[in-house]
Structure 1
Amino acid sequence: MHQQVVSRSFVSAMLAALAALVGLAACTGPTSPSAPDYRSMPDQTPDSFERLVGAWSSKVYGSPHIEVAIPEGWLVRLRGRCTGSGELAVHVSGQSFSQDERWPCIERWEFSKSLFPPDERAVGHQDLGPYPVVIDRADTITSWDLEAYSTELPPSASPRPVSS
């Protein structure tokens, strides 16, 4: 009987110590590293071979719904950023594709995850543009920028002469 009393006292003391430890952990927060602060990461920049083929911003386009077009380009990728909260939604389409991209408002430049238009072998023809773009911003977005970069000349275009 004495042993059961000691065991119960020991278990009670251990549970109290465990409860105190859990309470302390709750007050001080997790011991694992916190999520990365994306705002402190550097902006993503275009490569030297990419050329700017379109740029739009909230400074010029104040409406929450904008319709513009990328006039030309081959293997185009988008780069965007926004401030405020929420996401900047962008829809791009062409003769043979349609894609949606979203940029979280983390105040830094970030490239889209995909290129367009698709390879002509995949769709049976060349889609040389223009590429209609729809930009929708939430009311919580205070400013935004969107750029389009072409990584190559369209397959049917001849290289431009270099002037000296």
Structure 2
Amino acid sequence: MTPRVVARFLAAAVVAAGLTACTTGTARPAVPLTDATPGFNDVLVGAWSSTTDDAAHIEGTIPVNPPPELPKPSGWSFFLRTRCVGDGTVSMRVSGKTRRFVQPYESKCIGKWIIEWMHFPPGTATGPYDPGPFSLTIDRSAGVTSWDVEAYAQRTGNVYPNPSASPT
């Protein structure tokens, strides 16, 4: 064999070994290192879980516990936080009454809390504000052994009502 043929053979062997290592080794899952926690100004307004609602299909409303009234133009934006264990997903669908929107989301089970970045109601800056309540549908796949869904209200506009003077 010529040196060129040997070099090609070795290069092919290295590539094959690398592909084998990538496909047979333990893969690192793309999961958060820590549980996602809501911000200190976020208000829990509803919670559902497999310990209280163990059906495969749940229908509810958000907010279950309304957040306090805010002066205009402030309002509340809502978001979901989910956690599930098992082999499968938890699907959620949120819909509004006055704005006629529907937002679906599917959360994969990784055993840790995930904040779902589906803020609703959408477009509050461009149209009438939809204060809710919002319809919530939760469906879990058959492989899910436990799950939790939490709804939070997050203040919009005038986040800092008493701003301090600029240091400059």
**Shared fold per TM-score greater than 0.5:** yes
Instruction: Name the % identity.
Output: 35
Tell me the residue number matched to 1:141: 144
Corresponding letter in the other structure for 2:119: L
How much has 1:27 moved relative to structure 2? 4.3
Matched, 1:55 2:47: yes
Shift of 1:120: 4.2
Q: Which has the larger helix fraction?
A: 1
Aligned residues: 141
**How far apart in 2 are the matches of 1:64 and 1:26?**
40
The alignment status of 1:64 with 2:56, answered yes or no, reads: yes
Q: Could you tell me which residue of structure 1 aligns to residue 22 of structure 2? A: 29
For 1:91-112, what per-residue CA distance to the aligned partner results, in whole angstroms no more than 9, with x for missing partners?
Answer: 0011212111221101111111
Does residue 1:43 correspond to 2:28, yes or no?
Answer: no
Aligned pairs for 1:143-162 within 5 A: 143-152=146-155
Normalising by structure 2, what TM-score?
Answer: 0.73
Shift of 1:36: 4.7
1:28 & 1:151 partners in 2: Cα distance?
45
Render the CA deviation track for 1:65-84: whole Å, top value 9, x for unaligned.
11011134521111111111
Aligned in 2, Cα 1:26/1:151: closer, same or farther, shift over 3 Å?
closer
Task: Label 1:16 to 1:68 Cα distance change in 2 as closer, same or farther (>3 A).
Answer: same
Match of 1:87 in 2: 89
- State the alpha-carbon separation in 2 of the partners of residues 127 and 53 from structure 1: 16
Rg bigger for which structure?
A: 1
CA distance in 1, matches of 2:3, 2:129: 78
Q: Which residue of 2 aligns with 1:160?
A: none
Give TM-score, length-normalised by structure 1. 0.74
Report the Cα distance in structure 2 between the residues aligned to 1:149 and 1:115, rounded to whole angstroms: 10
2:112 to 104, 108, 111: 108
Distance 1:37 1:82 in 2: 15
SS in 2 for 1:106: coil
Counterpart in the other structure of 1:18:
11
The alignment's C-alpha RMSD in Å is 2.3
List alignment gaps of at least 5 residues for structure 1. 1-7, 154-164
User: What's the CA shift string for 1:18-60, capped at 9, x where partnerless?
Assistant: 3433343344338xxx655416x11111111111100000111
